[in-house]
Amino acid sequence: MIRRNFAVCLLLVFSFSALSASGQDEDAKSPKSSPKKPSSTAPKTNKIQPTTKSVPKTVNAPKKVSPNKSVLSTKPTSSSKKEKNTTATLELTVNESGSSIEINRLEKGAAINVESATGADSGDTLLFESLQPGDYLVKVRKNGFYEQQLKVTLKAGKTAGLNAVLKPSTGFLTVVSNVEDKVIEIKGFGSFVEKVENLAVAPQQYEISISADGYEPVTRRVDVRLGQTTIVDGNLKLIEREKLLQIAKRDYQNGLYKETIANCRLILEQKDDDALANLLIGYAYFYTNRPRESRFYLARALGLQMEAEIPVKIYQKEKNSETLTDGVLKINRNNLSFYSAKRPELNFNISPSSISKLEINQDKNNSNSASSKPDSVEIRASVSSGKKTEKKILRLYPRQAFARVIAQNKAEIATCTNCSNVGCLCQTEIRAVYELLLNWKSGSFPRGTNASSSVAPPSAGFTRFDGQGFSLSLPDNWLKTTQTDNPMWFAPTGGFFSSQNRVQYVYALNAGVLPITANDLRSESERFYQSILSANGYLEQQSEPKEIFISGRKGLTASFVGFNAEIGEEEFVQIYTTFTREGNLFFILTVTPFEKRQEYRRTFRSILNSVNF
């Protein structure tokens, strides 16, 4: 039995939330002391320091004693000292775990709050010591139960016992499901993300809908009874791939690009060489301004015998002026063509063998100035027109570029509106078109993920590792790849490689502690997120931080997704943070290919649950 001590302070307005049954303590809150450097040790205390000068002293607070100890009795307090004991003790037993307890001393008709506590285990007896003799009102509360109020008179040198029996005022709902990333909607009550567990609701009938991307939604009707927990079957079935493909196609046609991407990812998890799914996700990325990802998937689609169409503009010089004409670049494995309904004389059709030169044409005066020209793709090729074949220079510009009038009957090509040339989306887009044409010309198309396919799944056994002020367990077949204890990188064999003089992680976990500048977990976590985003420009934050618990401490978690060109696929990063006892920021960062994230979710949760400080 775990024993717990609480400080009892007699003052007009004072309340202390005690430890929860799960082991959460005062350190789980935002640290109130000044930031300290990471350290593996910290002084421990079971005393609560007063927060007001009016408190004369702190004394021992409620202890948890054996649930078998008798209650509702009054007996002398044993003491080896000869002097008379002038304080009293209260033993309180609660039948419901997680109850909130408030003890008020009644003095001249006014209640003075003496002690508050939460988290008593069912059947535990809390021992409140060093209370002043007098009349007390004890309030016991818990969500879903009627509040119980008990009066008791405490006498000097004696122990009084109370037994609080809470009665339910509601029923409870729990939804169990085989899918973690789901949405649960309780009609007339509200929506929940991921889980519903012991939710207190009024006794009545409920309609509950469970849905998740790539799964057939289900709706259940259940009757909830007073004081009982109703278990709802929320298991979902995967949508058949062909049906999911039709949904993705419809979403794309309706301009629902984010939904298209989500559904195509699920399809590619089942079959990564699905030609239409690669084409649709490539288009969806293109129209959500993510050309790097678009290029990769469109190249895969070309290799799978699909034809891709990309909007571009073609350059034409006429007398002293320059013009751009909108059109569509059509690419399949054997041909490259340009089609414009406005100016059909600019249309062309060429093969890879007819090209003598393919390069990115960068303006020599390229700068941050709005007057600089955007990059273009220059193609030198033999172009057939009827019976004639002539050599031409074909210049393609991004769809955002335009011809700007600079004088009468004279115009020049400019970058996209309200945007600088360097680092502009139009530049990234035309370079993606150039890289796609390189794939087409060479006939080299990615057939699947470039991440190592020889990585063994996480083993069932775990090994303990000690960091700076923390420890955690990793699968036996994962290696520690760094020499230091802060931070520590772990990865399986084949889960990382060297690229451009640095280690590139495909499957990995990073853990460590950092000093803080503020006693606010959310702001410190967001500062850490920004450092990760700055170092990995391809990543984007996918969710607002969600509250979690790490080793009994309040924490946050957020997910990040981005196309990593070095591994040629989507990367999924999950970050977990909390404060340590020393007042530092503890973090865990996990990395997997996006399409493999579900396979590693259980392993990462086991690692997270193994953390000790």
Residue 71 pLDDT level (bands cut at 50, 70, 90): very low
The predicted pLDDT at position 180 comes to 80
Q: Tell me the residue range of the domain where 512 lies.
A: 462-609
Query: Are 122 and 35 within one domain?
Result: yes
What would the mean pLDDT of 5-27 be, rounded to a whole number?
A: 32
Dihedral of CA atoms 402, 404, 408, 410 in degrees, nearest 10, equals -60
- DSSP annotation of 393: E
CB atoms within 10 A of CB 186: 19
| Model pTM score | 0.52
Residue 449 lies in a domain: no
Distance CA 125, CA 195 (A): 32
Which of 414, 442, 470 corresponds to the end of one domain? 442
Query: Are 212 and 338 within one domain?
Result: no
Residue 22 pLDDT level (bands cut at 50, 70, 90): very low
Residue 524 lies in a domain: yes
Could you tell me which of 235, 226, 236 has the C-alpha nearest to residue 201?
Answer: 226
Distance CA 329, CA 339 (A): 7
- Residue 520 buriedness (CB in 10 A; 0-12 / 13-18 / 19+): middle
Residue 452 lies in a domain: no
The predicted pLDDT at position 66 comes to 45
Backbone phi, psi, residue 496, to 5° = -155, 160
What would the mean pLDDT of 533-551 be, rounded to a whole number?
A: 88
Alpha carbon of 290 to those of 257, 280, 331, 570: distances in Å?
Answer: 11, 14, 19, 12
Distance CA 227, CA 612 (A): 36
Query: Are 431 and 319 within one domain?
Result: yes
The residue to which tokens 């960062």 are assigned: 589
Contact 131, 6 (CB under 8 A): no
Residue 249 lies in a domain: no
pLDDT tens digits for 579-610?
A: 998 899 999 999 998 878 888 999 999 999 99
pLDDT tens digits for 92-130?
A: 999 888 888 999 988 765 566 666 666 555 567 888 988
- Residue 411 buriedness (CB in 10 A; 0-12 / 13-18 / 19+): middle
Task: Report percent pLDDT > 90 for the chain.
Answer: 44
Residue 389 pLDDT level (bands cut at 50, 70, 90): confident
Query: Are 148 and 270 within one domain?
Result: no
pLDDT at 80 over 50: no
Task: Report percent pLDDT > 70 for the chain.
Answer: 76
What would the mean pLDDT of 565-572 be, rounded to a whole number?
A: 77
Distance CA 603, CA 509 (A): 11
Query: Are 425 and 312 within one domain?
Result: yes
The predicted pLDDT at position 418 comes to 52
Residue 8 lies in a domain: no
Residue 448 lies in a domain: no
The predicted pLDDT at position 536 comes to 86
Which of 164, 195, 228 corresponds to the end of one domain? 164
- DSSP annotation of 49: P
Q: Helix, strand or coil for residue 600?
A: helix
Query: Are 48 and 33 within one domain?
Result: yes
Query: Are 291 and 231 within one domain?
Result: no
pLDDT at 52 over 60: no
- Residue 194 buriedness (CB in 10 A; 0-12 / 13-18 / 19+): middle
Query: Are 511 and 592 within one domain?
Result: yes
Distance CA 610, CA 462 (A): 10
Strands (E) across 388-477 are located at: 388-397, 402-407, 410-414, 462-466, 471-475
Residue 244 lies in a domain: no
Total domains, the chain: 5
Contacts of 341 (CB under 8 A, 6+ apart): none
Residue 451 pLDDT level (bands cut at 50, 70, 90): very low
CATH number of the domain encompassing residue 526: 3.40.1000.10
Residue 412 pLDDT level (bands cut at 50, 70, 90): low
Round the average pLDDT of the chain to a whole number and report it.
Answer: 79
Query: Are 72 and 177 within one domain?
Result: no
What would the mean pLDDT of 545-554 be, rounded to a whole number?
A: 91
End-to-end CA distance of the chain, in Å? 21
Distance CA 146, CA 282 (A): 57
pLDDT at 370 over 60: no
Instruction: Give the CA radius of gyration of the chain.
Output: 33
Contact 156, 88 (CB under 8 A): yes
What would the mean pLDDT of 459-476 be, rounded to a whole number?
A: 91
Query: Are 504 and 579 within one domain?
Result: yes
CATH number of the domain encompassing residue 153: 2.60.40.1120
Q: Which residues of 200-235 are buried (b: 16+ CB within 10 A; e: fewer)?
A: ebeeeebebebbbebbeebeeebebeeeeebebebe
Residue 5 lies in a domain: no
Query: Are 293 and 375 within one domain?
Result: no
569 against 22, higher pLDDT? 569
Number of H helices, E strands in the chain: 7, 39
Query: Are 228 and 348 within one domain?
Result: no
Which of 442, 477, 509 corresponds to the end of one domain? 442
pLDDT tens digits for 306-363?
A: 999 999 999 888 777 788 899 999 999 899 999 999 999 899 999 999 999 999 887 5
pLDDT at 373 over 70: no
What would the mean pLDDT of 5-26 be, rounded to a whole number?
A: 32
CATH number of the domain encompassing residue 337: 2.30.29
Distance CA 472, CA 481 (A): 15
What would the mean pLDDT of 568-572 be, rounded to a whole number?
A: 81
pLDDT at 78 over 60: no
- DSSP annotation of 504: E
The predicted pLDDT at position 428 comes to 82
